[in-house]
Structure 1
Amino acid sequence: MRVLALETEASGTRGGQEHSLFDVCVGLAGRGHAVTLAYVDEGDLVARYQAAGVQTVRVRGYAIDRAHPLRSAAAVAVSLVRALGTRPDVVYINQYHDTLFASAVARLLHVPLVCHLRLFPPSEFCGQWRIGLSGVSRFIAVSEATRVAYIERGFDPRSIDLVVNGIDVERFRPLDTRAATRESLGLAPDTYALLYIGRIDRGKDIEGLLRAFAAMRPSVRDARLLVAGRPLNHGGPAAAAAYLRDVEELARSLGIGDDVRWLGPRSDAVELYNAADVCVLPSRHPETFGRVLAEAMACGVPGIGTALGGVPEVLVGEASRFIVPPEDVGALAAKLKELADWRVRDPALGTRLRAIVVEHFDARRMAQAVTTVLERTVAEGTIRRGPQLGSPRAVAGAAAAR
């Protein structure tokens, strides 16, 4: 099977979505399928794709930009020619944003299109997305919460397969690098180290995490909060930089400025997890999955997440006690305090948490399930099961009718 996968920025510093696509493509290639990745912007994952046997082709863009219609249209045309030249049996995309371009490729080549749903649906699908979604043959949801969200927006339940997200449990594992990484970060051996890793965006509630850390701090002799990542969704570099300054100033105003380390984007996530004692995902907006929590637990580190979206599907079994209400500073502070001495009080906890991830969230199982969906879709031909979305009012009416 020849697969064309689309990516915008092949970078491991953006978030979990890019890592998940990498795991799927590498899994497909490892099963003997010919995978080509088309990407717009260079990133650190390009070399890793190539090393894993995935062909790569750089394109110039997937969508028409209203601010620069002629230039962006020319870029799309060049990208279309390059994508058509890969001659796939199926087009596979990682987000609904790319459906217009992907559906054009799929229709011109008379092949099916599969869209992985890794983000919750927006309040309104723009015109380009509505047209593109109608050309999708099948959808894959990363969690039951994600699947339900799209069904509630009027998508046919029969068109959405559930494939629970997975991670590379051979890469994300306990390492003997803990002491060296902590020394490089300026952490003493007995410092209680909390880790946030991801986008520094408003929906992640970094502010709530800072306040919870400040509330917990007097009860722990020595603690540090590590924040790894960069601001992304702020409407431009100036707004992103301003937001980062705001949260840094908040830390100072809370009296914890010296105890918070702003690490910026990092490519050594595995080492950071192993250096930390707890990983926190304090989102105030729903996550479709909560990949960082699974990664942390695979490394033998507890993960705390909020009771939204797909996070409760990750923190299962014993890990369910690490779920806290969103935007509840007191509850988060109490959970941080509770876990401060887990390495002494319950040293086997990390092993048990890793076992949960290996059992439920192994990327090899995910890649096999995605492969099965793609093969079945190819066998079914060019049936288009995507929703025929009209105006936002019509979409709302269709969802209500269900």
Structure 2
Amino acid sequence: MPDAEPMRLLAHSVALAPLGGVEICTLQDAIGLAGRGHSLGVAHGADGPLRAAYEAAGIDLDGPHRFGFDPRTALRDVRAFSRPARWARQRATEVVWLNRVEHLPWGQAVARWSGAALVCHLHAPPPFRWLRPLAAGVDHLVAISGSVRDAYLDRGVDPARVTLVPNALPPRAYPRGDVAERAAARAQLGLPPDAPVVLCYGHLSRAKGVPELLRAWTQLASRRPDALLVLVDSLSAEPDPVVAAQLAQLDPRSYRLFPMATDVVPFLHAADVVAFPTLLPETFGRVVLEGLATGRPVVASRVGAVPELLSGPMARFLVPPGDADRLAVTLAGLLDWRRDEPGLGAECVAWVERHWSFPAHLDLLEGVLATARDAHRRRPGHRAPA
């Protein structure tokens, strides 16, 4: 909907930092919507390195705010919600665009007190036992995958209230990197120029299957001592102790560990293969798209929404969750893909471009937000924002 009437939107983020996929998706979608002429404000918790990107897009920021709600501290929590509600009214907010369903009480309070519509973007499975009463004040729900949509329908949510808007990546955010880009990235990161490199990044935790990856790597490295595992840990401030203990047992020449990075593109360009060995029922798995978009095959667990991303010809990169043996074999078979399947990088890029278009994603999201705003305006007793 490139010609949609400009909207005044209020989003929120627990931190202006790349803690995970939700924070990155919120940033990229907000920048995309701002680029289409919509006015955005983002209420945030902790400050962080993503502030500059928000501000460069002309997005207003306000914080720090608390978003959680606990019945045991209800009065304190509700009082805390009054400040972002005042900010929403000052901005004449038309739609509160909530990106964490667990903060639904916050979104309901801010939307109700500011006279705005409420759209909840579902990045996670249902967190509440009694979902339907809590969702009563929500104008519409947006599901990032079929897996997420089905989880809410199974809990009794009306299908007419949920729109599937699959996640996507801005086309310039994760550019394709060929041999020249790989050489430059490895020089930048201090990695050997000729070693086959497998990359795993994000939460390096038990839940993300990293212990299984390290067991697989022990097998693989014994057969391919020239290979290198690169790990980028967004939990580097508080590393998982089980993962840390396993790393201490690995040959230090077989891996490199880096702390959290705001920009993962150099690591993707330095890699030959990306590993996503998660054990969680992932609601999307944007690491898969990020790797494919840069021209790298991604070996990932067959869980949650991941098979929605790796379907058809890409399904051969799926492995059973927790199966270190299968993971080792599949990774080993892809280390030399540039020699064995020289067209594979282009196939990965084309897959993302064909099935996960960011403009189409923004069209759908923009349409849901505009429809919710217009329906809210027509509601009897609607109080227009000041």
Under a length normalisation based on structure 1, what TM-score does the superposition of the two structures give? 0.86
1: CA distance between counterparts of 2:49 and 2:360?
A: 25
Aligned pair 1:214/2:214, yes or no? Answer: no
Partner of 1:109: 114
User: Which one of the candidate residues 6, 9, 12 is aligned to 1:6?
Assistant: 12
Partner of 1:178: 182
Aligned pair 1:342/2:359, yes or no? Answer: no
Structure 2 counterparts to residues 1-400 of structure 1, below 5 A = 1-12=7-18, 14-64=19-69, 72=77, 74-122=79-127, 124-125=128-129, 132-175=134-177, 176-231=180-235, 240-241=238-239, 243=240, 245-253=241-249, 255-381=250-376
| Matched position secondary structure for 1:225 | strand
Q: After superposition, give the CA deviation of every residue in 1:309-331 in whole Å (9 maximum; x if it has no partner).
A: 11011113321110111111111
| Matched position secondary structure for 2:275 | strand
Q: CA deviation at 1:183?
A: 2.8
1: CA distance between counterparts of 2:289 and 2:233?
A: 17
1: CA distance between counterparts of 2:195 and 2:72?
A: 50
| Matched position secondary structure for 1:319 | helix
Q: CA deviation at 1:166?
A: 0.3
Aligned residue-pair number: 371
1: CA distance between counterparts of 2:101 and 2:36?
A: 26
2: CA distance between counterparts of 1:67 and 1:186?
A: 51
Q: CA deviation at 1:177?
A: 3.5
Q: CA deviation at 1:202?
A: 2.5
Q: Which amino acid in structure 2 is aligned with residue 219 of structure 1?
A: R
2: CA distance between counterparts of 1:70 and 1:43?
A: 29
Q: CA deviation at 1:171?
A: 1.9
After superposing the two structures, state which structure 1 stretch, 174-183 or 199-208, moved more.
174-183
Under a length normalisation based on structure 2, what TM-score does the superposition of the two structures give? 0.89
The answer on whether the counterparts of 1:37 and 1:54 sit within 8 Å (CA) in structure 2 is yes
| Matched position secondary structure for 1:194 | strand
Partner of 1:392: none
2: CA distance between counterparts of 1:167 and 1:216?
A: 31
Cα RMSD of the aligned pairs, angstroms, is 2.2
| Matched position secondary structure for 1:203 | coil
Partner of 1:395: none
Q: CA deviation at 1:15?
A: 1.4
2: CA distance between counterparts of 1:107 and 1:268?
A: 37
2: CA distance between counterparts of 1:155 and 1:67?
A: 27
The answer on whether the counterparts of 1:137 and 1:382 sit within 8 Å (CA) in structure 2 is no
Q: CA deviation at 1:114?
A: 0.4
2: CA distance between counterparts of 1:263 and 1:289?
A: 24
2: CA distance between counterparts of 1:317 and 1:173?
A: 23
Q: Which amino acid in structure 1 is aligned with residue 36 of structure 2?
A: R
2: CA distance between counterparts of 1:267 and 1:200?
A: 16
Q: CA deviation at 1:51?
A: 0.8
| Matched position secondary structure for 1:288 | coil
1: CA distance between counterparts of 2:44 and 2:160?
A: 30
